[in-house]
Amino acid sequence: MRGRHRPLGRDGGPVTARGTPHRGLKRRLADGERLRGVLLRLPSETLVEMTGVAGLDFVVVDCEHGPADLTLLQHHLTAAAAQGLDVLVRVGSAEPALALRCLDLGAAGLIHPHVDGPEDARRAVAASHYPPLGERGFATYSRAGRFGAVTAAEHVAASRETLVVAMVETRRACDAADAIAGTEGVDAVLVGPADLAADCGFPEPGVVDALASRAHDAARANGRAVMAIVPGLDAALAAERAGARLVVYNLAHVLLDTLRSLTAPGTADATGDPV
Catalytic residues: 65
β-partners of residue 111 are 90, 165
Amino acid at 234: D
Cα distances (angstroms) measured from residue 225 to each of 47, 120, 149, 191: 26, 18, 33, 12
**Helix, coil or strand: residue 263:** coil
Cβ count near 252 (within 10 Å): 16
DSSP-assigned states of every residue in 211-258: HHHHHHHHHHHTTPEEEEEESSHHHHHHHHHTT-SEEEEEHHHHHHHH
